[in-house]
Structure 1
Amino acid sequence: MYAKCGALAFASKVFDMLPKKDQVACSSLVSGYAQNGLLEEACSHAGLVERGHSCFHSMTRDFGIEPDNRHFACMVDLLGRSGRLKEAERFIDSMPIDPDSLVWTSLLAACKLHGDVELGKVAAEKVMELAPGRSGTYISLSNIFADVGKWKEAVEIRRRMSRIGVIKEPGWSFT
């Protein structure tokens, strides 16, 4: 019901709390994501994370393609969207190359989606080290704090932006 109404973050949290995830619960969540135009998220909840993992590993094993940060970021995104944040963090820690800001931004976005403040702080700090001028990083971290009612921390991030001269880029769309 929450997913059909567009409350996808709440629907996902309720789904994650279910002791038994039966076919009805899975179908409801996947349908809700799909009905709201979020097909990638629907796929991650439909069990395609394992398929993504398989494809990722077959790149090297079957085709001799060495993954770069874009490939690793896709895996972090896939794991993160499906709520496997700790697994995404372990995946980053096991990377044979240094993760770039895209990899950490993928984790940060997943932390925002699932309300993981502590891991979100870690991911944001990494992005800030690698790409210090990106306003979106600060805004995302501020929003993570705000989403869980940590207003003091949210305001402090905005003040930090101001102190170091990071300016929020205005939003825009193609419509």
Structure 2
Amino acid sequence: MVRRVVTGVSASGKPVIVSDGEPPVTRQYTHTPGFARSLVWNTAAPATPSADPTQTLKSYVPAPGETIALTVTFPPGSVYADPGWDPVAAGAEQLENTPGLAELFEPDNPGMHTTPTVDYGVVLSGEIVLDLDGGETAILGPGDLVVQNGTRHAWRNNGAEPATLFFVLIGAAGTA
């Protein structure tokens, strides 16, 4: 999945690497093959250096001023078209693994959701389509950046390979 390097300060006051490896809150989804998510870090407001807070995160929707950093790997759309794909089991898995966020996805319009956040997104690999409620789309590739301003949207992978994105969600007042 992804490698996360976390720095800190030793008892003697020197900068040190506290951890180096896969984020501990990493999920490879069972009911949507190829879908994966890693919680990289999260902060409360005001942000302060801390021990790893990811194990105790209660909601994947940050409150105003809080942040969540995560990677998401989107499988090709063909996964969702496979007759063996079970949307009920996949939805339950999302609810279990991304509380707060999974509830915002619209059951009658797959993938569409609105979050009370400003999000910074970076495409790390693959190609993904940002699908906006009004019908506009943007095709994004490696290195492309997006600022998602609390608008109704979905992410679509129309290609044959997975697409991995890095997101920073910033809790915002007055959105959604």
Question: Which interval holds the TM-score relative to the shorter structure?
Answer: under 0.3
Highest RCO, 1 vs 2 (Cα 8 Å, sep ≥ 6): 2
Q: TM-score, normalised by structure 2?
A: 0.26
Q: Which one has the bigger helix percentage?
A: 1
